[in-house]
Amino acid sequence: MLSNGFHGYKEGYETLEKIGVTQRNRDFFNKIFVPVFLMVSTPNFVMLLWYTATKHKGSYGNMVHSITQASTLDSLKELWGDVNICSNFALSVVFGYCIWALLLMKFLPGKQVRGPITPKGNTPVYKDNGFSHYVVTMTTLFLLTVILKTYDLSPSVVYDNFGDILGTLNVLSAIFCIFLYIKGLYSPSSTDCGSSGNIIFDYYWGTELYPRVLGFDIKVFTNCRFGMTIWAVLVYIYALKSYELHGFVDSMVVSAILQLAYISKFFWWEAGYLSTIDIMVDRAGYYICWGCLVYVPSLYASVSLYLVNNPVYLGWFWSTFILACGLLAISVNYFADWQKQRVRSADGDCLIWGKKPNIIRAKYMLEDGQEKESILLASGWWGLSRHFHYIPEILLALFWTLPAGFENFMPFSYVIFLTILLTHRSYRDDDKCSLKYGPFWTDYCERVPHRIVPYLF
């Protein structure tokens, strides 16, 4: 039919051909080039971060100078060669923590929460015990520090062996993603699964939306109970190491307080996280699972890692000022997430910033044709721009980075990554919502025309 329509018109035929070529190029770029690039670069990048912070005092310049003296192979050897992958200590730490987190996940009480309905019409159910998991873990870590001290030992041994632990995590997580890939193809936990027909993309993106193993939800484990908790544990351990090396260093304390406050807020709101694109859209593959198992512990905690060998003294004024700005940013981010949840749980019958909310009752359809309705909030923080909450998220990351000062670029790696990630995410989320809500999303975009920065972008 198409070719009939276009055969007589050379121009039209060429256009179709061009569209086909463009599509193939785009598919190659998105489904092969980007995944391969990320899967080759990110494991090396996390090792480089650790190597730069611990062996080159956090200077990318020194690190680059050192590794460019040798051939690429020798540089890779220098990067990976010093670490003892799967050492007994690293294996005990990694598996020991996994067993701990799984036991807490199973036995800590929590009420059942229902996740958002999936495109295939499934409604995953979770146990909401993330906050208690976090409190129990951090309290136990603190008690362990006190007990170990009586034997002249310290949890900061994790910092001393972090190269081995990171190398081990890198390898084990990549193997775990192979397991997830195969499981999704041959033994999926729900109908939200399938293959794209491209093995590279399937490994990178995943083959299942909500995999469960022995009753454990994999994404809740990797994203929340592993990635986010290990981030907090590392911030604590790096602060402890800094204290052992230099005594009280205010920049380390300010940065650690802000990161721990943010992570505590995350666990307080964990049930809300289950309605974000990480859980609703992203499958359990390299991107999310390897990302949360390796990338988060490495990059997200990197400011504290940097500060261990680069103590900065801020003084009371800057410490208080940065702390206050950071806490304000956390509150704005939290209340933006809260407003969205509140208006939905109250079915629009609530006050937002003291007024009746401006809402859109948006209809959408599941894959089986069932019609559903949801609420889009167009006032409060969600009336300023469509992703206003990303601004305090980025500012907060900047506030916990500023204590590291401007001597080196390395501590700014996370905030730069986050700005790119969130800008890209705002496009992904708009595409997802536009596809889901069609004209209702267009209506929202007309009411709230700016994507992230009001009046600018």
Ligand X SMILES: NC(=O)C1=CN([C@@H]2O[C@H](COP(=O)(O)OP(=O)(O)OC[C@H]3O[C@@H](n4cnc5c(N)ncnc54)[C@H](OP(=O)(O)O)[C@@H]3O)[C@@H](O)[C@H]2O)C=CC1
Site for ligand X, rule CB under 6 A: 116, 275-278, 333, 337, 340, 374, 376-377, 382, 387, 389-390, 393, 418, 421-422, 425, 429, 432-433, 436
> Hunting for tokens 């041994």 — which residue is that?
157
* Nearer of residues 180 and 422 to ligand X, judged by Cβ: 422
Q: Answer with the entry of ligand LRGFMEAS, ligand X, none that 120 interacts with (C-beta below 5 to 8 A by kind).
A: none
Tell me the torsion sign for CA atoms 344, 328, 428, 448. positive
Q: What 3-state class would DSSP assign to 152?
A: coil
Q: How far apart are CA 302 and CA 238, in angstroms?
A: 10
Q: How far is the CB of 314 from ligand X (least distance, A)?
A: 24
Q: Which stretch binds ligand LRGFMEAS (CB under 6 A): 164-172, 195-203, 287-295, 312-320?
A: 287-295
Q: Kindly give the interhelix angle for 72-81 and 60-68, rounded to the nearest 10 degrees.
A: 120
Residue at shortest CB range from ligand LRGFMEAS: 291
* Nearer of residues 246 and 425 to ligand X, judged by Cβ: 425
Q: How far apart are CA 237 and CA 376, in angstroms?
A: 41
Q: What 3-state class would DSSP assign to 128?
A: strand
Question: CB atoms < 10 A from the CB of 269, how many?
Answer: 17
Q: Any contact of residue 223 with ligand LRGFMEAS (CB under 6 A)?
A: yes
Q: Answer with the entry of ligand X, ligand LRGFMEAS, none that 185 interacts with (C-beta below 5 to 8 A by kind).
A: none
* Nearer of residues 115 and 357 to ligand LRGFMEAS, judged by Cβ: 115
Q: Kindly give the interhelix angle for 390-401 and 315-345, rounded to the nearest 10 degrees.
A: 160
Give strand ranges (E) for 220-307: none
Report whether 169 contacts 297 (CB < 8 A): yes
Helix or strand holding residue 303 (H, E)? helix 302-309
Q: Answer with the entry of ligand X, ligand LRGFMEAS, none that 78 interacts with (C-beta below 5 to 8 A by kind).
A: none
User: Of residues 27, 78, 128, 278, which one binds ligand LRGFMEAS by CB under 6 A?
Assistant: 278
Question: CB atoms < 10 A from the CB of 247, how many?
Answer: 8
Q: What 3-state class would DSSP assign to 417?
A: helix
User: Of residues 115, 130, 291, 326, which one binds ligand LRGFMEAS by CB under 6 A?
Assistant: 291
User: Of residues 172, 193, 254, 292, which one binds ligand LRGFMEAS by CB under 6 A?
Assistant: 292
Question: x/- site string to ligand LRGFMEAS, residues 23 to 62, per CB under 6 A?
Answer: ---------------x---x--------------------
Q: Which whole-number Å values give the CA distances from 232 to 136, 375, 395, in the listed order?
A: 13, 34, 19
Q: Which stretch binds ligand LRGFMEAS (CB under 6 A): 119-127, 288-296, 381-389, 439-447?
A: 288-296
Q: Any contact of residue 287 with ligand LRGFMEAS (CB under 6 A)?
A: yes
The strand pair at 111-114 and 125-128 is best described as antiparallel
Q: Any contact of residue 288 with ligand LRGFMEAS (CB under 6 A)?
A: yes
Q: How far apart are CA 56 and CA 66, in angstroms?
A: 9
Tokens of residue 356, six digits: 């009746």
The Cβ-side half-sphere exposure at 2, using a 13 Å CA radius, reads 7
Q: Answer with the entry of ligand X, ligand LRGFMEAS, none that 401 interacts with (C-beta below 5 to 8 A by kind).
A: none
Q: Answer with the entry of ligand LRGFMEAS, ligand X, none that 236 interacts with (C-beta below 5 to 8 A by kind).
A: none
Q: Answer with the entry of ligand LRGFMEAS, ligand X, none that 389 interacts with (C-beta below 5 to 8 A by kind).
A: ligand X
Q: How far is the CB of 93 from ligand X (least distance, A)?
A: 24
Q: Exposed e or buried b for every residue in 326-362, given b needs 16+ CB within 10 A?
A: beebbebbbbbbebbebbbeeebeeebeeeebbbbeb
User: Of residues 50, 181, 273, 334, which one binds ligand LRGFMEAS by CB under 6 A?
Assistant: 273
Question: x/- site string to ligand LRGFMEAS, residues 247 to 266, per CB under 6 A?
Answer: -------------------x
The identity of residue 348, as a single letter, is: G
> Hunting for tokens 């009371």 — which residue is that?
316
Q: Answer with the entry of ligand X, ligand LRGFMEAS, none that 450 interacts with (C-beta below 5 to 8 A by kind).
A: none
User: Can you give the binding site for ligand LRGFMEAS, defined by CB under 6 A?
Assistant: 38, 42, 223, 228, 266, 273, 278, 287-288, 291-292, 295-296
